[in-house]
Structures are given as structure tokens and as C-alpha cells.
Amino acid sequence: HRFAHLIGTENVTGDNIENAKNCQAVFDGNNLENVSYSMFVNDTKDTQDINYGCDEVALNYEVCTTGVSAYNILFSIDTWPNVANLYYCDSCSGGTRDCFGCIGLRGKQFCILNKQYSKEEYEKLVGKIIIHMQKTGEWGDFFPIGLSPFGYNESLGDDFMPINKEEAVKIGANWLDIDYGLKYEVGVLSAA
């Protein structure tokens, strides 16, 4: 069996990669440079820990779903198209730039927690927030597991790394205690 599908690559590890240089642990992508620990990426460079990114993506870290001219996006999810300098944002799009901790913005700039600031106020406050987050150890990580609206036992995490309720609570995860009366036995789903 073929080890990996690497076409037109140099210094690359992963699988199903075309036209790439200096990439580690990348799966399913093309036209890449200096990308690591990522999957489903195209036309991306200088990026790490990204899942689903394409079309002129650069300088992104710990991002899920971004693309079409996404630049300098950190610790965010669903940020595209034409976005830049977003930190801890969710579902921001349409030219949103220079925002921190925002959700659902379109075409906005210099916002913190969805509140508009002047450029000077924004830069000053974001600097203070980042310094505080560095002191508390929060800066540099994706959204905490406790913010998930789902219980650990209803996520794919439980399929790949099963743990019990006590272990989930210990790592700060939510747990769903509802029994829907369904029972799964050897490939058969039935009412209990």
C-alpha cells in the first residue's frame, strides 16, 4: 500500500497533499507553504492548527473554518470572507477587521465584545486584555471546553477518547445527563 499521496511537495508530512513546501502533519490540501497540524486547507501559508481554510489564508493559528482572504486570525471559528486581525471571534465575516471577542459581525472594525471603539481606544484596550489573559494563562488557547453548548458525551470527542462524567467534569467539560431511552447494541439502535 502506498504510504502517502504527496505530489509536488518538499519537506512535507501528512497525506493527500499537492504543491506544498515545509508542511508538517497536514492532510488534504494544496498550494501550501509553512503550514502545520492542519486539514482541508488550500492556498494557505504561514499557518498552524487550522481546520478548513482556503483561498488566500495566511498567518492563522488555532482556527476552524476560515478562508477567502483571511489574514492573521487567532483562536477563532467561522471567520470569512475578507477578514483580518480577529482574535477569539466567532462567525464574523464580510470584511470584519481588527476585532476581539466578537460574534456575528459583518463589515465591522475596532470592536471588542461587539462594542464599537475608536482605533486608539481599541488598540489600548486590546493590549490590556491580552496582558491580563497572559497573566491568567488564558491567552494562546482556543475557546475553553466549558463554553461548548454540548456535553462531552454527545461530541465526537467521546467517540475517539471516551471518558466518564467525573473525568469530563474534571477537565471542565459539560456532560449531558438526559437518557433518551435509546439503546445501541452491536450496530442496532432500538428503544429501551
What region, left, alpha or beta, does residue 126 occupy, with left being phi > 0 and alpha being psi -120 to 50 degrees?
A: alpha
Instruction: Read off the pTM.
Output: 0.83
Strands of the chain (E only): list them.
Answer: 6-58, 61-67, 70-79, 83-87, 97-100, 109-112, 115-116, 182-185, 188-191
Contact between residue 54 and residue 44 where contact means Cβ atoms under 8 Å apart: yes
Burial code (b: 16+ CB inside 10 Å, e: under 16) for 78-112 equals bbbebbbbbbbbbbbbeebbbbbbbeebeebbbbb
Q: What is the DSSP string of 106-135?
A: BS-EEEETTEE--HHHHHHHHHHHHHHHHH
- Contact 34/44 with Cβ under 8 angstroms? no
Distance CA(47)–CA(49), nearest Å, equals 7
From first to last of the 192 residues of the chain, give the pLDDT tens digit: 788 999 999 999 999 999 999 999 999 999 999 999 999 999 999 999 999 988 899 999 999 999 899 999 999 999 999 999 999 999 999 999 999 999 999 999 999 999 999 999 999 999 999 999 999 999 998 888 888 889 999 988 888 899 999 999 999 999 998 766 655 555 555 555
